[in-house]
Structure 1
Amino acid sequence: MAKPPDRKVPLRTARALIPPINVSDLKTYPLKKRHSKVRVSDFAEPWRRGGSFARFYRSLPDILGAKTLRAVAASIAAAHRKRRPVIVGIGAHVVKVGLTPIFVDLMNRGIVSAIAMNGAGIIHDFELALMGHTSEEVDAEIDQGRFGMAEETGRMINDAIIRGANEERGLGEAVGRYINDSPGLFRNHRTSILAAGVRLGIPVTVHVAIGTDIIHMHPSADGAAIGATSLFDFRRLTAVVSRMEGGVYLNMGSAVVLPEVFLKTVSLARNLGHPLTQITTVNMDFLSHYRPLTNVVRRPTQKGGRGYALIGHHEIMVPLLAAAIYEELG
């Protein structure tokens, strides 16, 4: 049987093509009637060699981060004028990038009312006061089992905590007193936040998670003493937060522990009758993290107040903020 010839099947369009929309009837309005978020009057000014910080501060654009920086500095200045608390929560990184003199100066001027630290923060503050150096090379020490095994750090800080528990003190006060009691040994005590807190009568509280700090590996560690002194500090911090109406809380460089602690102090204070309806909260870090944005910036201020976030390296942003505060205070 002969094979039938091939037939070419015509191509068929599944559906008709949609023509482009006719825009001839588009409605417009004058540009001058539109709200705009950016104006020439908000622009930066070029720097002139030999200028002052005041001029530099005024020259920043009034846009985004620079606008937030001004708002935070103004909020802190306003709280200080009204004698409302300005509380700073700092992670250990903030200490070991050389910023303790900035915080001690803010404490000396009466601008910072309280400081909250995590457990690692006291280790760096202590070692700097004792030896003038801190921050070991973890990668180089971990393989040999030497990481965290500095004898003086483990023995002396644990001794200070046990003394503090016996005297019914907070952890921060206990270590601060230990430093101040031996100024000849702690030659850099003037740059210690812990020592300054005791000297000035400013609460410096420490909030510990057991097992996170190198001193917990040492045989001198006393879990009961660590727990008792840290719980004391949690309640002391809550006492400061309870009076924070019109005040400011700043979280700097703590991604988990201190945001969680602050949220609980707010809840406890409100439960005990302190409404905290007009507070300012700020998160400052070089990365954006979930807990600080949620537990510091958003949740505590959803009842009232303002929350801000500033992203940047601490060693640049903290001195810049401190200088901005001084300019706002005149």
Structure 2
Amino acid sequence: MFQPRSIDFSKTRTFTAKDRYNLVRIDNLRTPGAQEDDLFHSPEFDLLVQKLAQAKEEGRTVTCFIGAHVIKCGLSRYLIWLMEHGYISHLASNGAGSIHDFELAYLGGTSEHVPTAIEDGSFGMWEETGLWMNEAIREGAAKGYGYGQSLAAYADAHKSRFPHLEDCVFYRAWEMGVPMTYHVTIGTDIIHQHPAADYAAIGRASGVDFGYFCHSIAMLDGGVHMNIGSAVTGAEVFLKALSIARNQGYPTFHITTANFDILPLGDYRTDIGKDKYDYYYRPRKNVINRPTSQGGTGLYICGNHEATIPSLYARLRDRA
């Protein structure tokens, strides 16, 4: 019988992140109220603002799945404001989103220069990030925590390591009682490269988070789901969670979904053939069209995150 060979992860070399150059830093995060001079506008955006305000007023669920670039664009404080003011009741992301948030909290910076780091094998080999995150996940999974809970509890227990918790999205969510869940694919994240990685614990904690996310989607009727910049994971996780909710009889047909991205889709509500490349763009089908086929509204917000997210904050702030 053929036996595949595996690499010895214990031989992987790691390096301290203390002197690393970071493209995104605490001192260049964008601050709500200070940088909304040129607001984004579109008819779909206007309707989304209206639906979010209505959901908040009626106490409906608002779920939001972000790609890691929302953090890398320096927009953490806007996410925190949206949670604080009741416009996000469940925030989710992929594994990379957790890493950038974690690094900002302990290091004050994140986003290394990948093109040069991959050349010598130093890309992602950061001792503190890999060791501490894997410790947090392993300890949390042993207690039955989800991935997001595990990171927040670890940061709370080691506050001296994390001088920037006021800008940490998963920690602030934990303080507010807002579920912050992470949906991980093994092998996609730099902490999976670290010798301390425990793949069973990573899978267990992320699985717990999927259950939390499914519950929030089951409560989504009359509410809003936003997918901001996650072209694969967010769209797929949302569709599976929605299928589970409907399979179990939860009413989830009167919903508003909104996908934020920069890819022009034209008339995104029409069906297109498999001979068109954007047929394979998952959010078009899995966020905008299919979930609203029996009712509700699917929207596409086409613009850069650095314009759309601050504009969303400004429009909702001005309605208060």
- So what's the TM-score if we normalise by structure 1? 0.79
Deviations 1:168-201 (A, max 9, x none): 0100111122122233321111111110121111
* Structure 2 residue identity aligned to 1:327: D
User: How far 1:213 sits from its partner (Å)?
Assistant: 0.3
Bigger-Rg structure (1/2): 1
Which of 288, 307, 310 is the aligned partner of 1:316? 307
User: How far 1:55 sits from its partner (Å)?
Assistant: 11
User: How far 1:327 sits from its partner (Å)?
Assistant: 2.5
SS in 2 for 1:238: helix
Which of 229, 236, 249 is the aligned partner of 2:205? 229
Would you say the 8 A contact 2:61–2:223 is kept in 1? yes
1:133-282 maps to which residues of 2 (within 5 A)? 133-282=109-258
Structure 2's unaligned 5+ residue stretches are 1-34, 265-277
User: How far 1:54 sits from its partner (Å)?
Assistant: 11
State the partner residue of 1:132: 108
Would you say the 8 A contact 1:173–1:197 is kept in 2? no
SS in 1 for 2:42: helix
* Structure 2 residue identity aligned to 1:87: T
* Structure 2 residue identity aligned to 1:140: T
- Asked if 1:325 is matched to 2:316, the reply is yes
Give the root-mean-square deviation of aligned CA atoms.
1.9
Which of 269, 284, 295 is the aligned partner of 2:286? 295
1:38-187 maps to which residues of 2 (within 5 A)? 66-187=42-163
> 1:54 and 1:284 mapped to 2: Cα distance?
18
SS in 1 for 2:263: coil
* Structure 2 residue identity aligned to 1:208: V
User: How many aligned positions are there?
Assistant: 272
User: How far 1:110 sits from its partner (Å)?
Assistant: 2.3
Taking structure 1 as reference, are residues 322 and 217 closer, same or farther at Cα in structure 2, changes over 3 Å only? same
Taking structure 1 as reference, are residues 247 and 201 closer, same or farther at Cα in structure 2, changes over 3 Å only? same
> 2:52 and 2:71 mapped to 1: Cα distance?
21
Would you say the 8 A contact 2:224–2:256 is kept in 1? yes
* Structure 2 residue identity aligned to 1:109: H
Taking structure 1 as reference, are residues 104 and 248 closer, same or farther at Cα in structure 2, changes over 3 Å only? same
Would you say the 8 A contact 2:36–2:311 is kept in 1? no
Deviates more, 1:216-225 or 1:103-112: 103-112
Give the structure, 1 or 2, with the largest relative contact order (CA under 8 Å, sep 6 or more). 2
* Structure 2 residue identity aligned to 1:95: I
> 1:54 and 1:226 mapped to 2: Cα distance?
38
* Structure 2 residue identity aligned to 1:99: L
Deviations 1:259-299 (A, max 9, x none): 00000010000011112110000000122561011100111
Deviations 1:236-257 (A, max 9, x none): 0010110110000000010101
SS in 2 for 1:315: helix
* Structure 2 residue identity aligned to 1:72: L
